[in-house]
Amino acid sequence: MARLWYSLPYPSAHQPLPSARMALEPWTLFLDSCASGGQRGRFDILLRRPRWRVWQQGGQTFLAEGGNAPKTSNDTLISVLRAIAREEQERIRDLDAFPVAYPFAEGFAGFFSYDWGRQMLGIPGPDDPTLPTAALAWYDSAYLVDHLRREAGFWGHADDLLALRAEMAEPSDREETILGDSDVQPLWSAELYRSAFAKVQAYLRAGDVYQLNLAQAFQANWSGTPWQLYRALRQRNPAPFAAFFALPEATLLSLSPERLVSLCDGQLQARPIKGTRRRDPDPLRDRARAAELCASPKDRAENVMIVDLLRNDLGRVAELGSVRVSQFCALESFPAVHHLVSSVEARLHPDCDPWDVLLSCLPGGSVTGAPKRHAVELLQSLEAKPRGFYCGSLGYVDARGRMDWNILIRSLSYRAGQVQYWGGGGIVMDSETDAEYQESLDKVAFITATLKAGRDTVPSATAFAKRRAAETGQ
């Protein structure tokens, strides 16, 4: 039976789409723009119940079709993904009925960890044992929302739509109370951070690297569900590349502001972030901080280095002469911080595919350093533990050749009541220890504040809609 496109009402409130029960279902993936506006905050995509599941753990690749038991493969992860994609694309006959404006109809979606990217660079090291190094699934139905055109729809079969609508109607009207008061523990003391920073400065003075992105890890307990935590974080810090991914072993929660790379109609785009200032509640001081960031030679120098690195990454998979910098050090402001953001664009070479692009770009240059490979080698010896998911990438490759991937910063992993997250920043020759240490805290301050909150409430969809109607007079 052919799939159809079913137009649905635009959601009445800017609430996350899945119900609490959906969010507990393994392999539910919600790509959430947080209705943040513009092309980068335009679409929400809810994916469930995949046809294929593929993951890598302990150096072994596993695959499972539908609800079948997993099998192992001797092929590389990328080889398995390409083989399944070819098989599925031979089956597809109905994509002509799918609206071309929407970014995802069918294809692979999931995440690659930082450690997977490190392995692809040929750098050995331990992996995070609590998560796969990569996990992707082939989804053949999707619920999508277009916040720019204020439209929504479902791509799939009628029975799947009926089941989805029934489940999405499940949240109760009461407000859910979330118990916080978590004891957030950094894995490094300030003294240990300063010691690692001094080593980075020595590498910089020796000319081993030009920039190194040093990060520290935090851990905490969380007594609620991961979906409750995601909703609370989303209220504090909506971001255009947010995501919620429920895996069998753990759950990934991302409030990322950064795009690693996208591909649409043969056009590649990377949007590196380098340069940060914490927001100030006073408007005058906040504007002063933004102006100081824009004028900072140190922050602009960091951005230049990473732009050059990404020009090289894209150049390996681009048509000759097509790489260009379309935006340089533009100020973009988010609820918690101001950032300097650049944009590097290129045309995909006809001999390359989306997987080639990811192999060239992972791990992202803005979260490693320059030159990338040696920066990753040095970080292995400097940081307290494997990064795991942190600074990896989450996104999709659509069957039509489109893709969009974030960088997993401002992100957490949840497993059996335990939460882990990281904060870091780029260090160059004129970086100052205390300022860089504070920046690593500022970037994740909204996460720490949410976990430490003694009591917080997240409104149900109906309660949120009533509140929004009262505010707007509708």
Residues belonging to the active site: 258, 274
Q: How far apart are CA 380 and CA 219, in angstroms?
A: 20
Q: How many of the other CB atoms lie within 10 Å of CB of 319?
A: 16
Secondary structure (DSSP) of 164-176 = HHHHHT---SSPE
Strands 369-370 and 185-186: unpaired
Buried b (16+ CB within 10 A) or exposed e, 359-384: bbbbbbbbbbbbbbebbbbbbeebbe
Distance CA(186)–CA(165), nearest Å, equals 42
Distances (CA, A) of 443 to 223, 379, 382, 408: 23, 19, 20, 13
The DSSP-derived string for 50-118 is -SEEEEEETTEEEEEETTSPPEEESS-HHHHHHHHHHHHHHH---GGGS-TTSS-SSEEEEEE-HHHHH
Place of tokens 């469930």: 48
**Which contacts of 278-284 are long-range, i.e. CB under 8 A and separated by 24 or more positions?**
278/336, 278/337, 278/338, 278/442, 278/445, 279/333, 279/334, 279/335, 279/336, 279/337, 279/338
Q: Which two tokens stand for residue 286?
A: 């906040």
In whole angstroms, give the CA distance from residue 352 to residue 250.
Answer: 33
Cα–Cα distance measured from residue 145 to residue 416, given in angstroms and rounded to the nearest whole number: 31
* Among 359, 154, 366, CA closest to 274: 366
Grouping H, G, I as helix, E, B as strand and the rest as coil, residue 263 is strand
Token digits of residue 252: 């990934």
Cα gap 471→474, rounded to integer Å: 8
C-alpha 42/C-alpha 166 separation (Å) is 25
Answer whether 344's CB lies under 8 Å from 325's CB. Answer: yes
Q: What residue ranges in 238-313 does DSSP mark as E strands? A: 241-246, 251-256, 259-264, 267-271, 273-278
- Compute how many other C-beta atoms are within 10 angstroms of the C-beta atom of residue 114: 29
* Nearest of 431, 403, 435 to residue 305 by alpha carbon: 431
154 vs 144: CA distance, rounded Å: 6
